[in-house]
Amino acid sequence: MSHLYSAESIDLEKDLDEATVNKLCAVGNVRVFQHNELLYRQGDPAAKVFVLLTGSVKATSSNAHGFETMLRIHGPGSLLGLSSLRPTGLRDANGIAIGVVETICLSSKLFLRILQDDGVLALQLIRVLLKRQQELHSRIRAVLGNSVEQRLAGILLQLSSEAIAAPKANPSPEISITHEDLAALVLSRRQYVTQILRDFVSRELITTARKRVRIIDPGGLRRIADE
């Protein structure tokens, strides 16, 4: 069965390659955000695009009653704030720093001018948008047809793959994430996710520490996700 963020249908590498990141660094401004600080808020005017250099950012969406849904977690190399490229220019999600986050910030007008002159970057942006559409479709299929255990195995594999693809990444990187955020990503209760993580540890699929997960048997997780 298809699992959350299926690796077979989605390119799990970072949004931008190192050369493109360096090019944007040369024209943008460095901005650093502290843990839980908002890069942008849903509903606010959108005029900035961010390239994530270090740390992680979670994207969430809130409804009229204040209920918050986790959309995804972005790692280094991700392109954030793309709603600023739309004519309406309003944020459709929140961007919240996980730990200390370093970004390159560009105005949407500058970014659009760069796109007009750089066909390679324009193609990368198209791939980013297609990838996120595929992620959404995969997530819907997973929620409708997969168990929480399958969804959790899938999201751990996806986060690990993105961490490995990050610039200067450790070949076996740790995933920086709380049990609460994992539960939000797989649409389950934190207590149940914690129970499944303990089971994964006992089966020697992962190791855990405070707000850290390291995958030691990706093949085992893949078998669970694809059951």
Tell me the per-residue pLDDT of 59-111, one tens digit each, with 9 for 90 and over: 998 877 677 888 888 888 888 998 888 887 789 899 999 999 999 999 999 99
| 30 and 91 housed in the same domain | yes
Query: Is the CB of residue 101 less than 8 Å from the CB of residue 32?
Result: yes
Query: Is the CB of residue 160 less than 8 Å from the CB of residue 39?
Result: no
**Domain span at 168:** 133-225
In this structure, is the dihedral angle defined by the CA atoms of residues 166, 171, 71 and 132, taken in order, positive or negative? positive
Q: Specify the pLDDT at position 167.
A: 54
| 113 and 96 housed in the same domain | yes
| 58 and 159 housed in the same domain | no
| 182 and 119 housed in the same domain | no
Q: Give first-to-last CA distance, the chain, whole Å.
A: 6
Whether the per-residue pLDDT at 42 is higher than 90: the answer is yes
**Is residue 138 in a domain?**
yes
Examine the fold and report which residue of 109, 130, 151 is the final residue of a domain before the chain moves on. Answer: 130
Q: How many Cα neighbours within 13 Å face the side chain of 161? A: 19
More confident residue, 52 or 227: 52
Pairing status of strand 175-176 against strand 212-215? antiparallel
| 38 and 63 housed in the same domain | yes
**Is residue 168 in a domain?**
yes
| 200 and 122 housed in the same domain | no
| 118 and 137 housed in the same domain | no
Per residue in 189-218, pLDDT (tens digit) is 999 999 999 999 999 999 999 888 999 999
Q: Is 204 left (phi over 0), alpha (psi -120 to 50) or beta?
A: left
Examine the fold and report which residue of 101, 130, 159 is the final residue of a domain before the chain moves on. Answer: 130
Q: Specify the pLDDT at position 4.
A: 33
Q: Specify the pLDDT at position 166.
A: 59
pTM of the model: 0.66
Instruction: Quote the number of domains for the chain.
Output: 2
**Is residue 12 in a domain?**
no
